[in-house]
Chain A
Amino acid sequence: MNASGHGFIADRALLAFDLSKTGLALTMRQDQSVLSANEASRLLVAVAANRDRAAFAILFGFYAPRLKAFLRRSGMTASVAEDIAQETMLLVWNKASYFDPARAGVSTWIFTIARNARIDRLRRDSRPALIAEAFDPSDQPDEPVSGEQAVIASEREERVRAALRLLPPEQADILKMSFFGEETQSEIADAVGIPLGTVKSRVRLALGRLRQILDDLK
């Protein structure tokens, strides 16, 4: 944990250095720091409809550095995380026409693409002889979305955000940490000094509480 913490600080220092030298253009391209859900959705629709490279560059600036951070948290090395982040953004370009704002928010949609790319990568690495074309339910042809579903999808994202805020902080933390995967669960166990089985039962409890809150918010 410590080592990655130091690496992170070093990265930030480098970033500040780069920014001071190259100015605003790099800020836009490498470290888009704010992007609202509506804006992201508008940009992605522009990528799908017009193959809009400027819109894609803004999405890249916001999501690629976050994907890399997310993948590193999930246990990938910096170079593999970089690679999968780039691959994910390429898939975002290629699959943009499949994005349906009625089904999921941009962040959630991009998360699922990265998740599948990561699964694909892990299998390819462990079994190089096999042709890796990850099973990807999000690639299944979708039925048309009804008006009712459209409301549900955007409401769902809001509800989930609200529920995470309503969870007791320690339960929210354990859910967030365990979301990054099994390895992280062992790290949580080590960090908190409790057995892995206890982490698992706390995750179960937190999920139960989350379900309650989500159902109450419906």
Chain B
Amino acid sequence: MITHHPSDETLFRYANGSLEAGPRIVVAVHVGGCAACAGRIGEFEAVGGSLLHDIEPDRMEAGALDRVMAMIDAAGIGRAEIAATPRLPRADLGIRLPEVLDDCGIGPWRWIGPGVRWSRVTLPDDGSANVMLLKVVAGRRLPEHTHAGYEYTHVLKGSFSDARGRYGPGDLDEADDDVQHQPVVDREGECICVAALEGQMKLRGLFGRLIQPLLGG
């Protein structure tokens, strides 16, 4: 059962399109399995629909409709090729990844510390987004840390706990710079998460501290 959801602010920013690419895809993974958040986003999108419907219209340039009609007439050729973008390389990580990540590049597991491995996730449309998969062995305690900005962590498998609660499959942990925690992976098994950092800032959070040297930052 899902007990940790993205905040309303985050879902609002997802709906209005201002959430960055990295957090956006991690939230999309969560929403793919969470009817409550999908419904909430639907509500916020309906706010957008209502604003669009009621806004004082602007004036389109003369001939705008004709131009679009001409594009419609010209279409049908070439669109298929545009869609067939080269697939990004995907390593087999030994787990079934959510469909939302189907178009992403997936790097191989890399060791970054005792019991901790990470894999870089490359978004097809934004190669610079900080998205990664993280795999931590059962019972491992991570170093105490704070965050430089927002960090979004969605649990795919296993679970971890900290002072705020227990995070299991389907849960999304949204940790801001106020959160200081020392997560412990539960003893039942390894924990695999997909995580994203907001912003292009220097990485200082949990993953940042672990991964910084590898990113050459």
Query: Which residues of B have CB within 8 Å of A176?
Result: 47, 51
Chain B residues numbered 171-216 whose CB sits less than 8 Å from any CB in chain A: none
The DSSP consensus for interface residues of chain B is helix
Scan B37-80; emit 1 where CB is below 8 A from any A CB, else 0: 00110110111111111011111111011011101100100000
Instruction: Say yes or no: A207 contacts B9, CB within 8 Å.
Output: yes
B25 and A214 within 8 A (CB): no
State whether the Cβ of B16 lies closer than 8 Å to any Cβ in chain A.
Answer: yes
Instruction: Give per-residue flags for A67-111: 1 if the beta carbon is below 8 A from chain B beta carbons, else 0.
Output: 111101100001001100110011001100000000011111111
Please tell me if the beta carbons of B48 and A65 are within 8 angstroms of each other in the complex: no
Comparing B109-117, B121-129, B157-165, the segment that makes contact with chain A is B121-129
In the bound complex, residues from chain A placing their C-beta under 8 Å from that of B31 are 137
| Chain A residues with CB under 8 A of B17 | 115-116, 118-119, 181
| Cα-based distance from A70 to B124 in the complex (angstroms) | 27
Contact partner, A107, options B15, B24, B50, B124, Cβ 8 Å: B50
Choice from B50, B72, B83, B125 contacting A161 with Cβ under 8 Å? B50
Q: What's the A-B contact tally at a CB cutoff of 8 Å?
A: 183
Please judge, given known A-B contacts A131-B85, A207-B12, whether A175 and B47 are in contact too, CB under 8 Å. yes
**Residues of chain A at the chain B interface (Cβ within 8 Å):** 8, 11-12, 14-15, 18, 29-31, 33, 53, 57, 60-61, 63-70, 72-73, 78, 81-82, 85-86, 89-90, 93-94, 104-112, 114-116, 118-120, 123, 127, 130-135, 137, 140, 152-153, 156-157, 159-161, 164, 175-176, 178-182, 200, 203-204, 207-208, 210-211, 214
